[in-house]
Amino acid sequence: MKLNLEKKCWPLNQSFNISRGKKTEALTVEVNLTNNGHLGKGECVPYSRYNESVESVCNQLENIALDIENGTIDNNNLQDLMLPGAARNALDCALWDLKFKENLKTSWNFFNIPRPGAIKTCYTIVLDEPKKMALDAKLHSNYPILKVKVNEESLKESMLAIRDVATNPKIILDANEGLTVRSLDKLLNFLLEMDVSLMEQPVKSSEDGDLEYLNTSIPLCADESFHNYRDMENIFKRYDYINIKLDKTGGLTEGLKIAQRAKKLKKGVMVGCMVGSSLSMLPALMLHEYADYIDLDGPCFLKKDQENGLVYEEGLLMLPEKACWGG
């Protein structure tokens, strides 16, 4: 087996702003595995919030390159060889893609899952001046679900402006750790008036213990506070939903395990993503049967996506005839 790593930069079609900062490009690492004429691919988006970089991901993968090329690593033992995170995700997804190709099957056939038709996905309204956010919301007011990035300072003004022009979509608010438990408590009645369906990661992961005692009818979703299977023991004391991102779980293998466990516990699941290409979205889409919300709009913010990537139309995503992963 041959391993090849590619560092890629995907310019964005707009600045992607959240409460923690902004980005104008998506930096990814692509893992390519070649074996007996078959090519398996995987992508990850290293995230500085989790102390990751393109360089650190490449270093992790290069450290086990000999084991990969010797064929001694598979999706099962990889879970013990590497910690959850972006590097393991790219390799895990590439191993799965290679396995599909070697078995001459699509990902859907391999897992015996019906190939889905059009699936609702959240569309993100990035943090900006309230008037600009309202304009963006108006342009997408016919979409089924809008995820609105907010901060404490402009949340009320932004939501009033957005609801004035977008009355029909479900609204998920995502503060990316930008609130406090106290400020959230004061906002709850307002959020109910705005018909907010879900509040994602309102406070810092290091300060979310008091959410356990917050009295709210608005479901809370853990993102930065939830990474992998080990986090499941205590997470539902504070949150009603978890956001499963393969870059956090360390790949599809653990992502499936988490999704199955969450549904067995009758807890809410969002399947989310970093801003990346369809090569990142397609493995995550394998979890769609377990998801209450799909949030896989990353490629919508790229100037150019992968060839044979997902097709997006008015808040729906659809598979191409032959996809760039699991095709």
- CA distances to 123, 151, 173, 190 from 238, rounded to whole Å, are 26, 21, 17, 21
Choose, from 41, 101, 147, 245, the residue flagged as catalytic: 245
CA R_g for the chain: 19
Phi, psi of 266 (to 5 degrees): 60, 40
**Which two structure tokens, joined as six digits, stand for 112?**
């015996």
CA dihedral 158, 160, 165, 167 (to 10 degrees): 120
- In eight-state DSSP terms, residue 223 is S
In the annotation, is 186 catalytic? no
SS (H, E, C) 38-57: EEEEEEECCCHHHCCCHHHH
Catalytic, 101? Answer no
Contact criterion met (CB below 8 Å) for 170 and 292: no
User: Of 41, 99, 147, 149, which is the active-site residue?
Assistant: 149
HSE at residue 130, side-chain half, CA atoms within 13 A, is: 15
**What letter represents residue 317's amino acid?**
L
SS3 of 66-96: HHHHCCCCCCCCHHHHCCCCHHHHHHHHHHH
* CA gap 42, 3 in Å, rounded: 11
User: Of the candidates 251, 242, 240, which has an alpha carbon nearest to the alpha carbon of residue 224?
Assistant: 242
Please say whether the dihedral angle defined by the alpha carbons of residues 214, 160, 299 and 121, taken in this order, is positive or negative: positive
Q: What are the residue numbers of the active site?
A: 149, 245
